Chain A
Amino acid sequence: MIVAEAKPLEEILDSLKGMSKVLVAGCGGCVAVCLAGGEKEVGIMASALRMKRELAGEPLVTVEETLTRQCDPEYVKELGKKLDGVDCILSMACGVGVQFLAEHYPDMWVVPALNTKFAGATIEHGLWEERCGLCGECVLAQTGGVCPVIRCAKSLLNGPCGGSQNGKCEVKPNACAWQLIYDRMKSLGRLEQLVEVAEAKDWSKSRDGGPRQVVREDVKIDG
């Protein structure tokens, strides 16, 4: 899932300066799962903002609405019914949701309530960790299901570096990704696979040259 966390309240208040009616828009997707922008978090955020603004002598009216997802047009459309008299949308989705709302409501000022962090997983309730750097060409088959791009601090494709010590990375206190790769390959009897040298990765498939697209003619409805 996309993992995000709330921005500091001061920053959000700052971006809502001068606004008197705000639609606090939640998202029922990833950010609800990582407890950052679902229905409950929308309620907490809206209540906190209302109280803070009332105390400042500038009362704020909030409309609360949590969409199934903010990254699909059919759900984003639903928000249109809620925009009466609204000055601004505070999106509690990831950066994708914020942009999608802005695109669909060109006359509306849209600001983010969250900082979008990474594509990751729930390690335990209340702890999320990055797992994928969205590189566009997955190498997990070569590395035993451990991503060297995001879990190795240097994104080495032929690791480890010389700094791997007792299973720990020299850059960060977490496990060395290449130790994890080695251990897993060893336990699965696939060590010989690591002898193969990985060639330079084609980074043009990653964050390079503007937004990437996935096109599937077979599932398109129009055209």
Chain B
Amino acid sequence: MDFNPKIVAFCCYYCAYSAADLAGSLRLQYPPTVRMIEQPCSGKVDIRLLLEAFEDGADGVYVAGCLEGDCHFLKGNIRAKKRVNAAKKILDKIGIGGERLEMFNLSGSMGPRFAEIATEMTNRILELGPSPLRQARQAEGENREEEASK
């Protein structure tokens, strides 16, 4: 099966978002699998947002915040990390798998690292395959088609 992963990246405006900009200016290549959502701080991300990204069809999700100790709001990235860890546990219990969610830290000047993270996460998701939810939905759709053609 042709698998084109859908990955959602919640990016802090002060670091990852600027790093993405820089990666662009540097003309660095990174996979087009990543859909970025700008956040005022990685600490804006809460568990509900992370779960709903998966529910809406993401195969992988990551949060990218400033380097630890460098958050513009002091502890937003530390809090984001805690929430990511809590959401991972929920994803494990549900059967989606916590390894589909990750927290990354980088600074606004780390354009190459931004591209590297996008590649790293894409490779991880390619290895894991489509989200179980996406698979279930596909199977359900095929079943329905079969029923209709009967």
- A positions within 8 Å CB-CB of B: 9-10, 40, 43-44, 47-48, 50-52, 54-55, 57
Which B residues touch A54, using CB under 8 A? Answer: 133, 136-137
Name B48's closest neighbour in chain A (CB-CB).
A43
* 8 further A-B pairs in the complex, CB-CB below 8 A; given A9-B93, A52-B94, A55-B96: A9-B94, A10-B93, A44-B48, A47-B52, A51-B54, A54-B136, A57-B136, A57-B140
**CB <8 Å contact, B55 and A40:** no
**CB <8 Å contact, A50 and B55:** yes
List the 5 closest pairs (A to B, CB-CB), nearest first. A47-B51, A43-B48, A52-B94, A44-B48, A55-B95
B41-100 CB contacts (< 8 Å) to partner A: 46-48, 51-52, 54-55, 90, 93-96
**CB <8 Å contact, A51 and B94:** yes
Report the separation of the CA atoms of residues A47 and B95 in the bound assembly, to the nearest whole angstrom: 13
A55-B47 in contact given A48-B94, A50-B55 (Cβ < 8 Å): no
A55-B133 in contact given A40-B46, A44-B90, A48-B90 (Cβ < 8 Å): yes
B112 beta carbon closer than 8 Å to chain A: no
Which A residues touch B48, using CB under 8 A? Answer: 40, 43-44, 47
Report the separation of the CA atoms of residues A182 and B114 in the bound assembly, to the nearest whole angstrom: 59
Q: Mark B107-146, 1 if CB is under 8 A from A, else 0.
A: 0000000000000000000000000110011001000000
Q: In whole Å, how far is B74's beta carbon from the nearest beta carbon of chain A? A: 14
**CB <8 Å contact, A51 and B51:** yes
Report the separation of the CA atoms of residues A52 and B133 in the bound assembly, to the nearest whole angstrom: 9
Pair count A-B, CB < 8 A = 41
**CB <8 Å contact, A55 and B136:** yes
Report the separation of the CA atoms of residues A54 and B136 in the bound assembly, to the nearest whole angstrom: 8
Q: In whole Å, how far is B121's beta carbon from the nearest beta carbon of chain A? A: 20
Q: In whole Å, how far is A38's beta carbon from the nearest beta carbon of chain B? A: 11
Which B residues touch A9, using CB under 8 A? Answer: 90, 93-94
Name A49's closest neighbour in chain B (CB-CB).
B94
Which B residues touch A44, using CB under 8 A? Answer: 47-48, 51, 90
Q: In whole Å, how far is A47's beta carbon from the nearest beta carbon of chain B? A: 4
Report the separation of the CA atoms of residues A200 and B96 in the bound assembly, to the nearest whole angstrom: 56
Report the separation of the CA atoms of residues A48 and B87 in the bound assembly, to the nearest whole angstrom: 10
Which B residues touch A55, using CB under 8 A? Answer: 94-96, 132-133, 136
Q: In whole Å, how far is A217's beta carbon from the nearest beta carbon of chain B? A: 45
Q: In whole Å, how far is B79's beta carbon from the nearest beta carbon of chain A? A: 10
Name B46's closest neighbour in chain A (CB-CB).
A40
Which B residues touch A51, using CB under 8 A? Answer: 51, 54-55, 94, 96, 133
Name B143's closest neighbour in chain A (CB-CB).
A57
A52-B95 in contact given A40-B48, A43-B48, A44-B48 (Cβ < 8 Å): yes
A/B interface sample: 23 pairs, CB < 8 A: A9-B94, A40-B46, A40-B48, A43-B52, A44-B47, A47-B48, A47-B52, A48-B90, A48-B93, A48-B94, A51-B54, A51-B55, A51-B94, A51-B133, A52-B94, A54-B133, A54-B136, A55-B94, A55-B95, A55-B96, A55-B132, A55-B133, A55-B136
